[in-house]
Amino acid sequence: MRALLQRVSRASVTVDGAVTGEIGPGLLILICAMQGDSEAQAEKLATKIAKLRIFKDDAGKMNLSVRDNGGAALIVSQFTLAADLRGNRPGFSYAAAPDTGRALYDYFTTRIAAEGIPVAKGIFGADMDVSLNNDGPVTIWMDTDTL
């Protein structure tokens, strides 16, 4: 699985003019299931993200996780993280099939919540308008193949 994390002071996702998820301080997690991924990759990624120390402590050092900091997670499916850029028009054949992608997205969100992190979500497969205030900015790319 692939994820792009952004440390945010706030973030929200809107579908058809209605807010489907919003958070204050925490993480915006853009997530993509890749071909061959399983619940094991989703669990590995959720565990790593929950422990990742990218929030400032009282000394201003990145020593706290989203859980330590009392933050939340806004989780948005984004199959474009699987883009194949060999040509000028991206291909997405590396992404998991939609049914598999949806199942792994749902499993990943339950695993983040099980880590004690409040979760808000987008709508899988929808055309979403994502708004955020990146804090730092801190943006981190993750792939379970390299964890």
Choose the catalytic residue: 20, 55, 79, 109: 79
Question: Which residues is 142 bridged to in the sheet?
Answer: 3
Does the annotation mark 108 as catalytic?
no
- pLDDT tens for each residue of 120-131: 999 999 999 999
pTM to 2 decimals? 0.96
- Structure confidence at residue 92 (pLDDT): 94
Does the annotation mark 78 as catalytic?
yes
26-32 and 72-77 beta bridge pairing? parallel
**Angle at which helices 98-114 and 39-51 cross, to 10°:** 40
pLDDT band, residue 142 (cuts 50/70/90): very high
End-to-end C-alpha distance for the chain, whole angstroms: 10
Task: Report phi then psi at 62, rounded to 5.
Answer: -75, 90
pLDDT band, residue 79 (cuts 50/70/90): very high
Quote the distance between the C-alpha of residue 12 and its chain's center.
13
Does the annotation mark 6 as catalytic?
no
Domains of the chain and any CATH numbers: 2-146 (3.50.80.10)
- Structure confidence at residue 74 (pLDDT): 98
- pLDDT tens for each residue of 28-71: 999 999 999 999 999 999 999 999 999 999 999 999 999 999 99
Mean pLDDT on 8-31: 98
Choose the catalytic residue: 35, 80, 92, 139: 80
Choose the catalytic residue: 20, 41, 78, 144: 78
